[in-house]
A and B are shown apart, each in its own frame.
Chain A
Amino acid sequence: MELSRRALIALAGAGAVGTALSAGRLVGADIPGRGSDALTVAILGTAQDAAARADLVAAFNKVHPDIRVRIMPVQGQDWSNFFAKILTLVAAGTPPDVVVVATEGAQLFADRLAEPLDAYVRRDAAVLREYFDDVHPSLIEAFMYQGSLFQLPIDFNAANLYYNASALRKANLDRPADDWTTDDFLSVARAMGRSNPGAFRPFFWTNRLWGGVVPWLYINDTSFLTERKASGGEWFWSRFYPHETGRGGGYEWTEPNAEDPKVAETFEFLRAMVAEGIGSSPAQGGGGELVARFAQGQIGLTPAGGFWVEGLSEGGMSQESYDVSFFPKWKTQRHQFGAAGYAIMRTSQRKDAAWEWVKFCVSREGMKFAFPKPSTTPVRRSMLTDAFYAGKGPKHWRVFYDTLDRFPTTGPIPAPPQQAAVESALIKNVVGAVTGSAANVKTQMSILNRDLALALRRNS
């Protein structure tokens, strides 16, 4: 085919015009909200989750009509995946102003991305006092890093034990006592297993940082990382929690601790449960499938928090068919929790507006809009009422907050700034330790210790 010069020029011109017309698309300028002066708030979730916050945004805009807010849903299979996507936004030069960050990423953000809130908290101390009066100090301490406060928590979930009430009744057992022990736990699990044959697991657990091996390590008074508290933070504690003792400037996890004999003892406890058939081999991934299994009555006991209530209700579980209890006591009854709150990005050009958003979201009004249903545990104890759990919650829903009050050493997920690498090192060694022989546990702990040391060093 012959192409004349004129035709070629015409084609080139058409191409140039087409490119010019689609320039907005090519550079992504037509993406909703991009380039606007709206305050961008990134959340872990779908477009539906973003839409569900419309009431919260509307309520905020009533107070601050001058601050436009755009909720940016970012989907991720877990928090690590979500954080990686936020970092990609940072690398692309389009970071959000505010990000919902869970305990898993609190120190990563505090170390590298988030703006300390100290000055804002001092400035608005009078307004915030009511919030702090309503929130357990352990939840606040989880978001302190090297003496500064980086987030105000909005919700949390302690690793309690959910149990299938029908399976318990079949085994002729009553609800476990609040101070039940690991021996009691084993007796209950064995009895459940005997009286519920077929595809039924008395204890089912997932292999992850929250609700995996860590709650067992905590009740055995140990952890897979050494836990220390940073100095500092007096400015905060003396002002808002003057009667609290033993609080510091946040947690520090800098060394592996997997070769502590108590860690091996804990893994051996879990290994024996798996070998006996009481416990499952820890499943990979999150809890979507777990909710379905529990609702179908295939699981007797499993670690979960207040975030399960709405899901179980939607899964067709009645209030009477399940309940929640404390984790059993071993050397201690220290529980594990995870929490989440909004972090302001250091790169944000709208920090003052971002702070107003953070402040509104922890206000009583803001939290009512944020948590209309029991899909998580709000950090404000005053919000946990019979009305909140009416028709859905387990009978002993008070366990959720009592975990913090009754066991004040209850602590957050061990999540240093190198959390992703640390979690990978933990997860990959858990299955090997709990599905092998008893003789293998100690060797596996040495490997875990080595992998943790590498993870902490390589990412420091």
Chain B
Amino acid sequence: MTATGTTPTRARGATASSAATRGGSRAPALMTWGFLAPTLIGLGLFTFVPIVGSLLLAFFRWDIITAPEFVGLANFVDLVADPMVRVSFLNTFGFVIVTVTLQLGIALVLALGVQSAMPTWLRTILRSAYFFPLILSAASVSLVMAYLFNGDFGLINQVLTTLGLPAVGWLTSGFPAAAVTVLVVYVWQNFGFTFLLFVGGLAAVPKEVYEACSIDGATGWRKFRMITLPLLSPTILVASVMAVISALQIFDQPYVLTRGGPGDSTRTAVMVIFESAFQQLQFGRASAIGIVLTLIIVAVTAVQFRLSRRFVFYG
């Protein structure tokens, strides 16, 4: 009886309790979704829907004016056959290798520099100066640089000729002058972010480790190799991944400075996407190039993370 008497009571109690729990959890869940909703709706409408649309568009020929025509894989086949697309991807890979190397190298050297003994005011000025180009618009910087590097009236050539040196067609001479100019402008503007990451990374290295290392008799280079680099390696990984992703999408500098020329020597993959879509109205082709570039970015990032297992030291 007891058993019979208690069981329903317990069951009722359990039901009431779980109902209370459900009732109690519903409001926070609703609130959570309520707060998330604007972001999710925004992401859905302006990110996921365009991504899916772009994926579909890659299999169509569409010029905005006439109805889209299904062409299967023709846009992708066309990319392989198009010499300009091949060159633009090769240029992009070249840009990535050079800019990422320079960006990481310069940023690391300068970050080590500002960490060394110097007055605080000087450190503040240097940090700001190195970071400053990054906050400027890439298009504006490129326009100013186009004036500086102008072959006929630019300041740089005027200085060179005043010194008795020959003028250089910075933006109009074939490889490598124009490509080097674009690279210089890009690296100058972008190394500040990597620099900032390295400054943060270096500040996180415990001083005790250096002190212990000094007591053991290690000198500057050995300290850098055995302490700084390993402890900075997670930051280097993050900086390199971000630099590679950013460099694979290089557009503003070559577009404003050279429009991809001379010939195709500074044309990049994103430039071809822009030209295909918004100048030549080949939205299917542009989407196909975009998909290929996205896959490349994903693959390169995956490779970076895979390789990081060998050299990144997480302490």
Residues of A within 8 A of B (CB): 1-5, 8, 11-12, 80-81, 84, 87-88, 90-91, 112-113, 199, 201, 204, 280-284, 293, 298, 418, 420-421, 424, 427-429, 431-432, 435-436, 444, 447, 450-451, 454-455, 458-459
Contact = CB atoms under 8 A, between A and B. Distances in A.
B31 A8 contact: yes
A432 B174 contact: yes
Given A199-B158, A284-B261, A435-B174, 18 more contacts: A8-B30, A81-B279, A84-B278, A84-B281, A91-B65, A201-B152, A280-B152, A283-B150, A284-B258, A418-B280, A421-B279, A424-B275, A428-B259, A428-B264, A431-B262, A431-B263, A432-B263, A458-B280
Contacts of A281: 151-152, 169, 172-173
B32 to A, nearest CB: 10
Contacts of A428: 259-264, 267
6 contacts: A84-B279, A284-B259, A420-B280, A428-B263, A428-B267, A431-B262
B46 interface: no
The 6 A-B residue pairs with the shortest CB-CB distance, nearest first, are A281-B172, A431-B262, A432-B263, A91-B64, A420-B279, A421-B280
Interface residues of B, number: 39
Residue of B153, B171, B259, B264 most packed against chain A (CB within 10 A): B153
Contacts, number: 101
Interface of B is mostly: loop
B105 interface: no
Nearest to A431: B262
B66 interface: yes
Nearest to B267: A428
A81 B277 CA distance: 11
A298 B150 CA distance: 13
A427 B65 contact: no
Contacts of B260: 428
Contacts of A112: 65-66
Contacts of B28: 2-3
B34 A424 contact: no
Q: Report which residue of B259, B263, B264 has the largest number of chain A beta carbons within 10 angstroms of its beta carbon.
A: B263
Contacts of B285: 458
B65 A199 contact: no
Contacts of B172: 281-282, 431, 435
Nearest to A280: B152
A199 B279 contact: no
A454 B264 CA distance: 15
Nearest to B153: A199
A298 to B, nearest CB: 6
Contact of A435 (B63, B153, B158, B262): B262
Contact of B259 (A81, A420, A427): A427
Contacts of B84: 451
A90 B64 contact: yes
Contacts of A418: 280
B282 interface: yes
Contacts of B63: 459
A450 B278 CA distance: 22
Contacts of B30: 3, 8
